[in-house]
Amino acid sequence: MATIVAWESRNQLQGGGGSHGGGERREHMFEKVVTPSDVGKLNRLVVPKHYAEKYFPLGPAARTSPAGTVLCFEDAHGGGGGDSTWRFRYSYWSSSQSYVITKGWSRYVRDKRLAAGDTVSFCRAGARLFIDCRKRAAAVSSLVPPAAAALIKVQLPPSRPVVDEEEASCGRRCLRLFGVDLQLLADAPPALDLQL
């Protein structure tokens, strides 16, 4: 029996999914591990300046104006029933010399249940922009006990687990469970708390 570390890998930044139209291949732009402020009451996402100026350059006019511009992103996984399109205000705050996504961001945080430590990623296919997010890896021993925890024991088949063959970035053996890639570690306790 082996222990499992939950590790979500729903991102399809490299265009591995291929089910969502768009002839061009998706080009990964950047990711950010969101801070507590990014998902908190400040209602803004600070876009690291390096990435902002590289991927979302603002013209001189938009850079001066507090209105900035509007960026439209498609959900990287297409409509899961929702609209799958996200409109964000994107502007430059001269006072803090930083680029920020403001209007529309809090809705995204809420809808995606984004939490501090999660990763938001941006990619594009031609002129189309995509946004994606994934939860951070669940801690094996959480400092703060989760509100609800399920103790999950996984019995592995003797030969080879069910592996998602398409997941190129998953070098180690993976088991997909509830849409979550579970990463197999040898020589570890047989069970863990999965925070669901």
Contacts with DNA by CB under 7 A lie at 35-38, 40-44, 46, 48-50, 64-68, 89, 91-98, 102-107, 110
Give least dist CB 118 to DNA, A: 13
Q: Cβ closer to DNA: 36 or 145?
A: 36
Give least dist CB 131 to DNA, A: 16
Which are the contacts of 159, defined by CB distance < 8 A and separation ≥ 6?
none
Helix ranges (DSSP H) in the chain = 36-39, 49-55, 60-64, 105-112
Neighbours of 9 (CB within 10 A): 16
Q: Cβ closer to DNA: 95 or 159?
A: 95
Q: Cβ closer to DNA: 4 or 114?
A: 114
Give least dist CB 124 to DNA, A: 20
Give least dist CB 78 to DNA, A: 24
Taking CA atoms, 92 is separated from 4, 89, 113, in Å, by 43, 10, 26
